Amino acid sequence: MKALIRDIYNTAHEFVRTFGAFQLFFLRLLRYSPRVLMRRPRLVVKQVYNAGALSLVIIMVCGFFVGGVLGLQAYANLARFNAEDSVGTVVALALIKELGPVITALLFAGRAGTALSSEIGLMKATDQLSAMEMMAVNPVRRVLVPRFLGGVIAMPFLVAIFTCIGLFGAHVVAIDLLSVDVGAFWQQMQLSVDIDDIHEGVIKSFVFGVVASLFAVWEGYNAVPTAEGVGRATTRTVVISAIAVLILDFMITAVML
Amino acid sequence: MLCFAVLKRGGPDLGSASDNLIEIRDLMYSRGSRVIFKDLNLTIKRGEVTALMGPSGTGKTTLLRLITRQLVPQHGTIHIGGVDISTLNQTGLYELRKRFGMLFQNGALLTDLNVFENVAFPLREHTNLSNRLIRHVVLTKLHAVGLRGAADMHPAELSGGMARRVALARAMVMDPEILIYDEPFVGLDPISMGVIVRLVRRMNDALGITSIVVSHDVAEVSTVADCSYLISDGKVAASGSPDELHAANSELVRQFMHGMADGPVAFHFEAPNYAEQLLGRDTE
Amino acid sequence: MQQTRSVEIGTGLFVLFGMSALFFLTTQTTGGDGFSVSDTFEVEARFENVGSLKSRAPVSMSGVTIGRVTSVVFDPESLDAKVTMVIDAKYDKIPDDSDASILTAGLLGSQYIGLQAGGSDTYLEKGSEIYFTQSAIVLENLIGKFLVGSQSGDEE
């Protein structure tokens, strides 16, 4: 019984400690961010390329099919009420407000997040971070901050691209395959989508970008410096990012409604 | 217990008054419940090649990390050039580290940069030198380790020995006052090993820097070191020139220097009684 | 250096691509009224009941969008709703006795303001107020009226 209480205490203690360390880590990244952005923009550019441009293919392919399936489903259900013209509305709202940011964030965690955490973990395991320390270079500033910023900058663009390609996918399915009227498709969409909906999507994509990049960098930096540890950190990146993104999505939606 | 200063070099910032560049006093360090060092005392003299030897697992690498303050001891002081490094703030520490060059066991080259950029890395981070000047300095250093021809290669394409030489060029590029080698001889073929041994000695004498070599390769260390410390069981077990260590009477020193399987450092890791464990009378 | 250049070009393309996507979303999926004129004048109108009229709702005349609602506020003194709207400055010959009514696009669509031309010789200009207004039709009231009306139809 005593042992159990002690275990619970230790676990709680460890949890609070990790949580606090995580906050401090986040603050440290934020504190260095402006300086890195001003003085070493090239480092950030390279990471925007890694996180953004290299994720384009998966984002575009997934966006197209998500949009397409939304078009199919919306059509199948709306046709029962003779409301095929609203397919555009349904698809656009779903993509802009929810699916665009959320699915992009999940794909981002799987593609760019894992790449980040395994890269950083391996740099740690092969003493590259210690070597930087020894060369009087702060690895947080030189390695972590550019990668974090790269993810944060790339994410809103990825979401916008995903959403556009999704609309295109829905357009192809609804108009070319199911012969919904093209005018009705776009007009209905334009009537019901408000600029606020786009704001919501952009805010979400920004928040998700921060969260997914933050967890990737954190897990990589705190990985146990062995092959197994790096592997585990990579897995945890995906799991934690996915959970955090979905919880935050719920919270943001609830607040913005 | 005698170490001879072979070369003296007046680094004004590190205090040229004393011959002792690094002084470690009453060092205590433990990780978890495991005590790694207790009451460790050692002195590293300016301009010498000092070897830190000891059986695997005695924390030689940990000692290096303590000296460079990547780790902080629980007790005791480390003075470098008369400055207690535990009093330094981040800026002071980084200023101090700019005077260090460190060669990591596996080279620790940055995998996303090629050889040239790896060597140029400290210059690009700390100086505003023009590209032309950086190129000049980097090629000179690469030439010194014989790898000027490999400038465009990527770390993944290098052999272990080459990677270590590139890392050495990188460690030297800021003209450090202290060069630290962490296990520079491990896992090298005899030729590469000979190259590294030669480089260690030559760098030290030609540039007048102070070198610290952590190793357990007795033969190589004997050829290169002016002074050796044998660390065992968390403290200095013996010290002196290689010849003195070879001639020492202590059983531990003899076991280590001559590579005997059993002795004060037992062949068996601590374990319960063999017979009892086999017969299942283990009480745990 | 060659590699750095291609990274920079790739990043540039990516960001351009992302920005055009964002631009496409903000311009092509929203604002179906297509009203985005900068040269406008402001008029107001008071309604007894605005229903679910929101700011940014279109203001249309003969089915053509000529402006949009900028704010809908409740006036605590006159106890009615004050709607401010902007109208494209090129429509400067709208009679000032025109009447504004709140209409619904389709059966369940969003609400907008429809202007019906009057016959006056003076025109709406900056700061004018439209005096003739017709409130939104609230479905419950309509049903209520219908029920009451059918029971005692001769009261009015």
How many CB atoms lie under 10 A from the CB of residue A152? Answer: 24
Beta carbons of B240 and B228 less than 8 angstroms apart: yes
Looking at residue C8, its pLDDT comes to 87
8 Å CB contact between A133 and A68? no
The sheet with strand B49-53 has its strands ordered as: B100-103, B178-182, B210-215, B49-53, B227-232, B235-240
The Cα of A1 is separated from the nearest Cα of chain C by a number of Å equal to: 58
If you classify domain B12-99+177-278 with CATH, what class do you get? alpha beta
Quickly count: other Cβ atoms within 10 Å of residue B242's Cβ: 20
Residues C57 and C83 in one domain: yes
Regarding whether C83 and C65 lie in a shared domain, the answer is yes
Check if A57 contacts C (Cβ < 8 Å): no
> Does C84 fall in a domain?
yes
Q: Which residues pair with B83 in a beta bridge?
A: B80
Cβ distance of A157 and C11 shorter than 8 Å: no
Confidence of residue B14 (pLDDT cuts 50, 70, 90): very low
Residues 10-49 of C with CB under 8 A from A: 10-11, 13-15, 17-19, 21-22, 24-26, 28-32
DSSP chain C: -HHHHHHHHHHHHHHHHHHHHHHHHHHHSS-TT----SSEEEEEEEES--TT--TT-EEEETTEEEEEEEEEEEETTTTEEEEEEEEETT----BTT-EEEEEESTTTS-EEEEEE----SSB--TT-EE-EEE----HHHHHHHHHHHHHSTT--
Select the residue of A45, A191, A197 nearest C8 (Cβ to Cβ): A45
More confident residue, A76 or B19: A76
What pLDDT is stored for residue C156 in this prediction? 44
Mutate to test the interface with B, among A28, A35, A36, A127 (most CBs of B within 10 A): A127
Smallest CA–CA distance, residue A106 to chain B, in Å, is 26
Q: B229: number of CA atoms within 13 Å, CB side?
A: 23
Residue of B nearest to A125 (CA): B108
Residues C2 and C70 both lie in one domain: no
C contact test, residue of A89, A95, A195 with most C CBs within 10 A: A195
Specify the DSSP class assigned to residue A109. I
What is the distance in angstroms between the Cα of A236 and the nearest Cα belonging to chain B? 24
Average pLDDT over residues A99-125: 94
Cβ <8 Å between A131 and B111: no
User: What residue ranges do the domains of chain B occupy?
Assistant: 12-99+177-278, 110-175
Structural domain total, chain C: 2
What is the overall mean pLDDT for chain A? 92
B-chain residues within 8 Å CB-CB of A126?
106, 108, 111
Q: What is the DSSP letter of B269?
A: P
Over the stretch B101-113, which tens digit does the pLDDT of each residue have? 888 888 889 988 8
- C-alpha to C-alpha distance for A254 and A246, rounded to whole angstroms: 12
Label residue C35 by pLDDT band (50, 70, 90): low
Q: Are residues C3 and C71 in the same domain?
A: no
Same domain, C17 and C57: no
pLDDT of residue B127 exceeding 50, the answer is yes
Query: What local confidence, expressed as pLDDT, does residue C31 receive?
Result: 65
Give the range among A146-155, B130-139, C114-123 with minimum mean pLDDT: C114-123
Same domain, C21 and C59: no
The pLDDT value recorded for residue B185 is 82
Which residues from B are below 8 Å from A132, CB to CB? Answer: 110
C2 lies in which domain range?
Answer: 1-30
Residues of chain B above pLDDT 70, percent: 92
Are C49 and C80 within one domain? yes
What angle (nearest 5°) sits at the alpha carbon of residue C133, between those of residues C141 and C30? 85
Name the pLDDT band for A190 (thresholds 50, 70, 90): confident
Nearest-angstrom CA–CA distance, C56 and C30 = 11
A48 interfaces chain C, CB cutoff of 8 Å: yes
Q: Is C30 in Cβ contact with A195 (below 8 Å)?
A: yes
Residues of C with Cβ-Cβ distance to A46 under 8 angstroms: 4, 7, 11
Q: Do A138 and B102 touch (CB under 8 A)?
A: no
Q: Is the pLDDT of residue C2 over 70?
A: no
Residue C40: predicted pLDDT: 84
Q: Worst-scoring range by mean pLDDT, B7-16, B31-40, B254-263, C17-26?
A: B7-16
Give helix C2-28 / helix A41-51 axis angle, nearest 10°: 70
Q: Which residues of A touch C7 (CB under 8 A)?
A: 45-46, 49
What is the reported pTM?
Answer: 0.77
Q: Is B229 on the interface with A (CB under 8 A)?
A: no
Q: Which chains touch B (3 or more CB pairs under 8 A)?
A: A
Cβ separation A127–B70 shorter than 8 A = no
Of residues B217 and C150, more confidently modeled: B217
More confident residue, C93 or B134: B134
Q: Round to whole Å and give the CA distance between A98 and A248.
A: 12
* Position with higher pLDDT, C149 vs B149: B149
Cα–Cα distance between B107 and B201 in angstroms, integer? 19
Please report the pLDDT score of residue B82 as a whole number.
Answer: 82
Do C104 and C135 reside in the same domain of the chain?
Answer: yes
> How far apart (Å, rounded) are the C-alpha atoms in residues C107 and A187?
16
Contacts of C105 in chain A (CB under 8 A): 191
Contact between residue A162 and residue A59 where contact means Cβ atoms under 8 Å apart: yes
Q: pLDDT band for B41, please (50, 70, 90 cuts).
A: confident
Contacts of A among chains (3+ CB pairs under 8 A): B, C
Q: Parallel, antiparallel, or unpaired for β B227-232 and B49-53?
A: parallel
What pLDDT is stored for residue C118 in this prediction?
84
Mean pLDDT across the stretch C52-65? 82
The pLDDT of residue B10 is above 80: no
- Residue found under tokens 């072979």: B6
Interface touch A122/B111, C-beta < 8 Å: yes
Name every chain A residue with its beta carbon within 8 A of the beta carbon of C18.
52, 154, 156-158, 160-161
At residue C120, what are phi and psi to the nearest 5 degrees? Answer: -70, 160
